[in-house]
């Protein structure tokens, strides 16, 4: 029992460390978006280009965070497994037994460690938790910049001209931005459905990951 207690403490510690790393990449995304907002809204004549380019960094941080999330999920799942199958039955006032051979499931995870969620599902989860709001703010800020600077926009044609980036016409930039947002929203929705599907396919009420 003492060894299992130390094992649980180690898993909680590792999950906490990786949770902190998730917060770090989210903070980087927020800070870079804040810098882009400051540059683009510094004056009416400032270019909206930083709000377009910052999307590259936001997506880079999202991909990095999804990778970190897969590691975090391994440690979190093990800690949660010990909580529900070892500690909960000891603390419960009555007969509580969730699953046969739970020790073997945990031992197999140590013997043959693997990620518990696919990479794209991890990306979708991080979008649902944090990045959808970051991407939405980026898109609304770009639209707001086009709409109000240097003066209030009077027509769609004028808005498209303000959105021009070098040789790329504004129609292309706005069209790409629309597809950009729809794609991430779709990925978030798909990952949510995939989580629900895999939960229904589990043979037991509990599962690691």
Q: Where are the domains of the chain?
A: 2-201
What does the pLDDT read at residue 204?
57
Average pLDDT over residues 125-134: 92
In the chain, the percentage of residues whose pLDDT exceeds 70 is 92
Average pLDDT over residues 194-203: 79
Helix (DSSP H) and strand (DSSP E) numbers for the chain: 8, 0
Paired strand residues for 165: 168
In the chain, the percentage of residues whose pLDDT exceeds 90 is 35
SS3 content of the chain, % helix, strand, coil (to 5): 75, 0, 20
48-57, 71-80, 92-101, 104-113: which has the minimum mean pLDDT?
92-101
81-90, 158-167, 187-196: which has the minimum mean pLDDT?
81-90
What does the pLDDT read at residue 113?
85
Average pLDDT over residues 167-188: 90
The answer to whether residue 126 scores a pLDDT higher than 80 is yes
Q: Is 195 helix (H, G, I), strand (E, B) or coil?
A: helix
The answer to whether the CB of 15 falls within 8 A of the CB of 69 is no
Most confident of 83-87, 99-103, 152-156: 152-156
């Amino acid at each position: 029992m003492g060894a299992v207690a130390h094992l649980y403490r180690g898993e909680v510690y590792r999950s906490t460390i990786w949770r902190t790393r998730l917060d770090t990449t989210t903070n980087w995304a927020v800070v870079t978006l804040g810098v882009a907002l400051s540059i683009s809204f510094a004056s009416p004549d400032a270019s909206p280009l930083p709000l377009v380019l910052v999307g590259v960094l936001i997506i880079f941080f999202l991909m990095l965070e999804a990778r970190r999330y897969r590691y975090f999920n391994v440690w979190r799942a093990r800690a949660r497994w010990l909580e529900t199958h070892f500690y909960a039955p000891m603390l419960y006032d009555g007969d509580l037994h969730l699953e046969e051979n739970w020790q073997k499931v945990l031992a197999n995870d140590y013997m043959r460690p693997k990620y518990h969620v696919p990479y794209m599902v991890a990306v979708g989860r991080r979008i649902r938790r944090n990045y959808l709001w970051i991407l939405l703010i980026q898109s609304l800020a770009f639209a707001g910049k086009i709409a109000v600077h240097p003066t209030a926009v009077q027509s769609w044609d004028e808005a498209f001209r303000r959105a021009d980036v070098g040789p790329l016409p504004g129609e292309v930039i706005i069209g790409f931005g629309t597809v950009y947002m729809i794609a991430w929203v779709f990925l978030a929705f798909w990952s949510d459905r995939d989580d629900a599907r895999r939960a229904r396919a589990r043979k037991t009420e509990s599962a690691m990951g």
